[in-house]
Amino acid sequence: MLPRLMRILRLMLVAALLVAPAGCGTSSAGTRRLRDATLILDFTPNAVHAGIYAAVANRYDRAEGLRLHVIVPSASTDSIKLLESGRVNFAILDLHDLAIARARGAQLVGIMAIVQRPLAAVIAAAGVRNPRQLEGKLVGITGVPSDTAVLRSTVAGAGGDPHRLRTITIGFNAVAALLARRVAAATAFWNDEGVTLEHRRPGFHIFRVDQYGAPRYPELVLCTTAQTLHTQPQLVAAAVRTLVRGYRFAVAHPGAAAAQLEAGVAGLDPTLVAQQLAVLVSAFTAPDGRVGELSPAVLHAWARWELEFGVVSRLPDVGAMFDGALVR
């Protein structure tokens, strides 16, 4: 009886070790303490954030000694404000927003690419088969500075004259404006509004900005402050390792990552999430297959484009603005 009981106890111990969180192991000092880290998104959760939610669901943060708290912004300006004020440790920022913040003196640093290509595009009605055909037509823009740059670059890249465009500010209502035919085209994201429109009414033409002369820049970047990078390098390194693992998982297992995102965020449409993630998976990896890579050559090309099309008035200092050394 006693040997049988001992076998049962050993099996229970092995099972407990197998399911124990990787980040909560013991050391000579006793139970490992987790450090809280806060990450604010750039926008409401969608498929582009699948790697973040996968990292939390798979407890990759715990394996790195972190407890990662993901925050959804209530407004598009929240991310920079909260990061700059030190109220969050990390933020996902649009690359153009990072450039504008740096231009006004914000000490923010990009430390990991979330995607490896622009998500910005001009989405046009079925009758517009080339961006040149937008000359003289009404195009909707959100009102943020990078929208005008994306529109002008796309039209110019197709051989058109961007000075002949007519624009109207529609906010973040590209889908509604295009479906109602209030505009001939609108600036939007091909991975979000583009997928939604294809789902609602197929036939729209999507002109991605990097297919019309813009460099293949990383649209979204994980950022922190220069102070955090200097004073808490271990925290920053652990966060980068966590998200790299999360996005590797999303690339390798998009179906599972989609399910984890839907489990973590109420109200998402599973069909749209699956469709969005399907078109995004290839954007999560650089040409060499790496996740999170910040290529200096790509970033220098982006900086020149950023200045040429007027997003900023001075050439961004790529060396000061990015630190990709933590991505492995």
DSSP string, 48-66: GGHHHHHHHHTTHHHHTTE
pTM: 0.88
What CATH class has 120-211? alpha beta
Q: What is the DSSP letter of 212?
A: T
Q: 31 or 206: whose pLDDT is higher? A: 206
DSSP string over 161-189: -GGG-EEEE--S-HHHHHHTTSSSEEEEE
Among candidate residues 85, 94, 96, 79, the one with its CA nearest the CA of residue 39:
79
User: What is the architecture of the domain spanning 33-117+217-321?
Assistant: 3-Layer(aba) Sandwich (3.40)
pLDDT at residue 256 is higher than 80: yes
Q: What angle do CA 211, 207, 188 make, to 5 degrees?
A: 120
Measured distance CA(257)–CA(269) in Å, rounded? 14
Q: Are 62 and 33 in contact (CB under 8 A)?
A: no
- What is the reported pLDDT for 125? 97
- What is the reported pLDDT for 3? 37
Q: Are 115 and 48 in contact (CB under 8 A)?
A: yes
Measured from the Cβ of residue 211, the count of other Cβ atoms closer than 10 Å reads 17
pLDDT digits 0-9 by tens, 86-125: 999 999 999 999 999 999 999 999 999 999 999 999 999 9
Mode of pairing for the β-strands spanning 185-189 and 120-124: antiparallel
Q: Is 296 exposed, middle or buried (0-12, 13-18, 19+ CB in 10 A)?
A: exposed
Q: Are 152 and 120 in contact (CB under 8 A)?
A: no
- What is the reported pLDDT for 272? 95
Question: Sheet holding 108-113: strands in order across?
Answer: 66-71, 35-40, 90-94, 220-225, 108-113
pLDDT at residue 137 is higher than 50: yes
pLDDT at residue 252 is higher than 50: yes
pLDDT digits 0-9 by tens, 153-168: 999 999 999 999 999 9
Measured distance CA(113)–CA(180) in Å, rounded? 35
Q: What is the DSSP letter of 34?
A: P
Output the six-digit token pair for 98: 């990072």
Q: 18 or 136: whose pLDDT is higher? A: 136
Q: Are 39 and 112 in contact (CB under 8 A)?
A: no
Pick the range with the lowest mean pLDDT from 6-10, 17-21, 204-208, 276-280: 17-21
- Amino acid (1-letter code) at residue 255: G
Backbone angles phi, psi at 259, to 5 degrees: -65, -40
Q: Are 245 and 229 in contact (CB under 8 A)?
A: no
pLDDT digits 0-9 by tens, 174-217: 999 999 999 999 999 999 999 999 999 999 999 999 999 899 99
Q: Where in the chain is the domain with CATH 3.40.190.10?
A: 33-117+217-321, 120-211
Coil vs helix vs strand at 205: strand
Q: Kindly indicate the confidence band of residue 31, based on its pLDDT and cuts at 50, 70 and 90.
A: low
pLDDT at residue 5 is higher than 60: no
- What is the reported pLDDT for 76? 77
- Amino acid (1-letter code) at residue 153: S
Output the six-digit token pair for 175: 């889908």
Question: Sheet holding 138-141: strands in order across?
Answer: 166-169, 138-141, 185-189, 120-124, 205-208
Coil vs helix vs strand at 94: strand
Output the six-digit token pair for 321: 């603005």
Q: Kindly indicate the confidence band of residue 75, based on its pLDDT and cuts at 50, 70 and 90.
A: confident
For the chain, where are the alpha helices, taking DSSP H only?
A: 2-19, 50-57, 60-63, 78-84, 95-103, 145-157, 174-179, 193-200, 226-231, 233-252, 254-264, 270-280, 296-308, 318-321
Measured distance CA(213)–CA(208) in Å, rounded? 10
User: What integer is the mean pLDDT of 66-77?
Assistant: 92
Q: Is 266 exposed, middle or buried (0-12, 13-18, 19+ CB in 10 A)?
A: exposed
